[in-house]
Structure 1
Amino acid sequence: MLQPILQIRQTPALMGIDADPGSYSISQPKAEISVTTTPCELTVQSTRPELTIDQARAWEAYNGGKMLDMNKRIYSGIQQLYLQGIARKVEQGNRMAQFFKPGNTIAEVYGSDTEPQSFPETRGPASYANVEIHFETRAPQIEFRASKVDIRVDRRNPEIEYTRGKLNIYMQQYASVQFIPPELNVQL
């Protein structure tokens, strides 16, 4: 005899998960750079050289120069001529005192004195160094101011955005248990 068998059918539960990952969006604006430059400055101040020419002594040698200087030369020259004249007269007097010596006659002492007396020199001495040349230069004044560079950076923070993904959890199939009884043939 066969024994009846009870059948049990079981269906497992199935869960469905639908998930999309989240996404990041990162952007960072460019930094702003501002550069300010102060230019350098160079200042040079130079003076013209000075040329001084003094030719007063050359004019004195050419034409006597200024009237005051010419008068001084004449005055000092007349003094010399006067002293020379006195010395000559003393010498002539001494010779005349010795008239008994040969050659000391009046005609010989005073007769030979026929040369005219020259006037004192009114001009200055002639020389190649009468003109004085003086050349004066001055060093330039130099001022320098260095340039300056000012750099300013305005940085921007990054902008981060996160978009959440989706998560969907659902039951694809529910669990079930099914009992199937055996068929019974009972005859009564």
Structure 2
Amino acid sequence: MPLRVDHAERRIRLAEAVWRIVARDGVAGASVRGVAREANLSMGSVRHFFGSQDELLQFAMREVIVRASARVAAQRASSVEKQDPLDVIAQRLEHVLPLDEERLTEARIWMAFTAHCSQQPGLAAIRREADEEVRRLCRNCLIELGQLRRLAARRDLDVETERLWALLDGLTTHVVINAEHTSPALASTVLRMHLAGLAR
């Protein structure tokens, strides 16, 4: 068991090294040699866990999803029963927005990965999985709003799912590349106003 834990920690350490390189130099800079240097490991150590650069990049990209999903799950588990349900759902959705330094860094890294998807089918597949996960999150939140009578009966669930997903995607892009106009606080306000308006 201790050996497995060490292996898991080593893989995470390598993923974090990839993130630092991607944030600094872009995806193209995250070669096996470069990642080994960044993580202060030998190339042999890196290749013990990942047989190629593609495998390494795919693991690092997937780990971004794992961390975001863990935040959403933790928020759901810690929700207070007397808390306003609309606030609970807004907080859940905010976990996929870059509203703090950690999430902003993740969003920048994610955007760098997605820009590289046309060159790497493996990354493109992970991007599609992530899109489906966020879309599912949006849909489930809207279903909850409907059960709470916070989603007007006239609204189409499929359409509203796409609208909410597009809003999250757009706000993320604006906060990352247009921060002087779209602050994290403004992004949060826009999301919450959108959710409140769904009852009408």
TM-score grouping bracket, smaller chain normalisation: under 0.3
TM-score (norm 1): 0.18
Using CA pairs below 8 Å that are at least 6 residues apart, which structure has the higher relative contact order?
Answer: 1
TM-score (norm 2): 0.17
More helix by share: 2
Larger Cα-atom Rg? 1
More strand by share: 1
